[in-house]
């Protein structure tokens, strides 16, 4: 939605999380005297601290604000022309409260419609944060001085070096700062590396100039009506691209390949290995798929190979993504708390190989299928399983089916402190203990960050 269309509309900011706060700040600066509505399921005293501080701040307090908090917050939707929804609120939840001729939009959609710069969008069920960060580092290191988007080249050879305009590179979205704070100062020759979640992509009517589609697996099935609805949200990253745009995609993922087939953009399959380069030292746990997607972006922008190599070699794995915690009591510990689906845990086991001896699994049950994970564990050298509810018991049932590994030990636990004590007791020196839950964190833990942080805390505490 164009900003000039908001001027005479009654606007509601729905959800006061990180994006909602940024949206409210942006709207207040844009329309200093407009009456703005704010709604959230939480009571005001239970809002996060940044939201409470904002509501008391001069930028909002004393201005024209209508607040709607608590369990009946959705009943106020009918009173507004435009609803700017936070990504964490499922569309299916608010649909019964919407009326005809209302505009349901999002911060992402507003940014896409009004940003004069060019956007590199990255999505996938797993790996988007790492890939977005790698792309950002490569482009920053490359000090891009060509303005590549006045007209994309017809070939894949890269950008014509004729136009000498400096590009500022920004990392935004799911991994970086909320986007509307950038909109006021965005210039035509800027580049925004935008990590896009399925929630941010849903209902989008415009695609980025360069799209990166890594993979699609069943996820967020409690948020969407069905798996196809989730796929449709992801597909928006390329759905509105033109022949002047690029799609970098994982041809090995069947769902991604199907989406790519229908795209109008210039298609670049993610290269399958690093042999096109030499002297790349992978000293961390970055999946090759993520690296090669970032390399493809660097190639488009004609970043010299030596700079791409250096950026990759200097890149550090992000927290909670196959993060090496350290070696304690001669046991290596890896924190992969962000592995919230079985496919991610399978990938972690493939990467770490036969040294992985102890695996911590389980969490919130979204109804995912653990059959393939069970088969992978049975073929691995894992000897000890430490299992959290609710999915821990479901995973164990899959492993027990036709299981000849009678030596496989398993423990059901309810807190991370107990899990780490068992890990130290049952992992041999020289081996690996891996936290890769294959499930969301909700229930016992607030989120994947808390789960991973507690893992690191007790690993270090028990090492003394």
The mean pLDDT value of the chain amounts to 88
Pairing of strands 432-435, 331-335: parallel
Confidence of residue 345 (pLDDT cuts 50, 70, 90): very high
Among the listed residues 432, 384, 392, 431, the one whose alpha carbon sits nearest the alpha carbon of residue 409: 384
Q: What tens digit of pLDDT does each residue of 412-421 get?
A: 999 999 999 9
Q: Is the pLDDT of residue 160 over 50?
A: no
Residue 107 backbone dihedrals phi, psi, to 5 degrees: -60, -40
> What mean pLDDT do residues 304-331 have?
90
> What mean pLDDT do residues 357-374 have?
95
Q: Is the pLDDT of residue 158 over 70?
A: no
Q: What tens digit of pLDDT does each residue of 2-17 get?
A: 898 999 999 999 999 8
47-56, 81-90, 122-131: which range is least confident on average?
Answer: 47-56
Q: What tens digit of pLDDT does each residue of 379-410 get?
A: 999 999 999 999 999 999 999 887 765 668 99
The per-residue pLDDT for 228 is: 95
Confidence of residue 149 (pLDDT cuts 50, 70, 90): very low
Domain 3-109 homologous superfamily, CATH: NAD(P)-binding Rossmann-like Domain (3.40.50.720)
Q: At what angle do helices 305-314 and 288-300 cross, to 10 degrees?
A: 150
Q: Is the pLDDT of residue 376 over 80?
A: yes
Fold of 323-461: 3.90.190
The per-residue pLDDT for 48 is: 85
Give alpha helix (H) positions in 104-197: 107-114, 128-142, 180-183
Other CB atoms within 10 Å distance of the CB of residue 163: 14
- 59-87 burial: b if 16+ Cβ within 10 Å, else e: ebeeeebebbbeeebbebbeebebbbbbb
> What mean pLDDT do residues 195-202 have?
94
Residue 52 neighbours by CB under 8 Å, 6+ apart: 44, 45
The residue extents of the domains of the chain are: 3-109, 115-314, 323-461
SS3 content of the chain, % helix, strand, coil (to 5): 40, 20, 45
Q: What tens digit of pLDDT does each residue of 4-59 get?
A: 899 999 999 999 988 999 999 999 989 988 999 999 999 988 888 888 888 887 66
Query: What are 313's two structure tokens?
Result: 């070699």
Among the listed residues 200, 7, 37, the one whose alpha carbon sits nearest the alpha carbon of residue 105: 200
Among the listed residues 286, 289, 356, the one whose alpha carbon sits nearest the alpha carbon of residue 322: 286
The per-residue pLDDT for 277 is: 62
> What mean pLDDT do residues 249-255 have?
96
Confidence of residue 156 (pLDDT cuts 50, 70, 90): very low
Cα-only R_g, the chain: 23
Q: Is the pLDDT of residue 270 over 80?
A: yes
The per-residue pLDDT for 280 is: 64
Give CATH for domain 115-314: 3.40.1190.10
Confidence of residue 163 (pLDDT cuts 50, 70, 90): very low
Q: Is the pLDDT of residue 144 over 80?
A: no
Cα(134)–Cα(290) distance, rounded to whole angstroms? 8
The per-residue pLDDT for 430 is: 96
Domains 3-109 and 323-461 share a fold: no
> What mean pLDDT do residues 143-152 have?
50
> What mean pLDDT do residues 156-170 have?
56
Q: What tens digit of pLDDT does each residue of 277-296 get?
A: 656 665 557 888 899 999 99
The per-residue pLDDT for 45 is: 84
């Amino acid at each position: 939605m164009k900003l000039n269309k908001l001027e005479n509309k009654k606007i509601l900011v729905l959800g006061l999380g990180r994006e909602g706060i940024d949206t409210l700040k942006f709207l207040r600066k844009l329309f200093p005297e407009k009456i703005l509505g704010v709604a959230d399921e939480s009571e005001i005293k239970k809002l996060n601290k940044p939201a409470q501080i904002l509501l008391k701040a001069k930028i909002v307090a004393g201005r024209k604000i209508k607040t709607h908090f608590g369990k009946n917050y959705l009943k106020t939707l009918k009173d507004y022309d435009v609803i700017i929804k936070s990504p964490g609120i499922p569309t299916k939840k608010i649909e019964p409260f919407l009326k005809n001729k209302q505009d349901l939009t999002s911060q992402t959609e507003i940014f896409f419609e009004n940003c004069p710069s060019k956007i590199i969008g990255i999505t996938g069920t797993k790996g988007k944060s790492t890939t977005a960060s790698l792309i950002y580092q490569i482009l920053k290191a490359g000090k891009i001085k060509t303005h590549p988007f006045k007209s994309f080249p017809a070939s894949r050879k890269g950008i014509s070096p004729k136009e000498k305009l400096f590009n500022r590179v920004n990392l935004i979205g799911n991994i970086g700062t909320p986007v509307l704070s950038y909109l006021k100062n965005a210039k035509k020759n800027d580049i925004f590396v935008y990590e896009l979640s399925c929630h941010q992509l849903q209902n989008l009517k415009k695609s980025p100039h360069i799209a990166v589609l890594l993979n699609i697996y069943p996820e967020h099935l409690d948020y969407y009506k069905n798996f196809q609805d989730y796929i449709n949200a992801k597909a928006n990253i390329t759905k509105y691209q033109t022949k002047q745009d690029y799609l970098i995609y994982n041809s090995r993922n069947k769902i991604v390949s199907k989406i790519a087939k229908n795209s109008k953009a210039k298609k670049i399959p993610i290269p399958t290995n690093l042999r096109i380069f030499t002297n790349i030292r992978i000293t961390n746990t970055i999946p090759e798929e993520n690296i090669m997607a970032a390399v493809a972006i660097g190639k488009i922008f004609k970043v010299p190979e030596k700079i791409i190599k250096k950026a990759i070699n200097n890149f550090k794995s992000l927290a909670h993504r196959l993060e090496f915690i350290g070696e304690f009591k001669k046991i290596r510990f890896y924190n992969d708390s962000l592995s919230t689906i079985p496919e991610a845990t399978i990938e972690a086991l493939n990467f770490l190989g036969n040294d992985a001896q102890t695996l911590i699994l389980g969490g919130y049950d979204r109804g995912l299928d653990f059959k393939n994970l069970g088969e992978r564990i049975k073929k691995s050298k894992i000897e000890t399983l430490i299992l959290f509810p609710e999915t821990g018991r479901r995973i164990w049932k899959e492993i027990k089916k036709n299981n000849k590994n009678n030596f496989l030990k398993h423990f059901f636990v309810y807190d991370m402190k107990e899990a780490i004590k068992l890990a130290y007791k049952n992992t041999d020196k020289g081996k690996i203990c891996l936290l890769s839950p294959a499930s969301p964190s909700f229930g016992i833990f607030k989120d994947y960050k808390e789960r991973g942080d507690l893992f690191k805390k007790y690993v270090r505490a028990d090492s003394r």
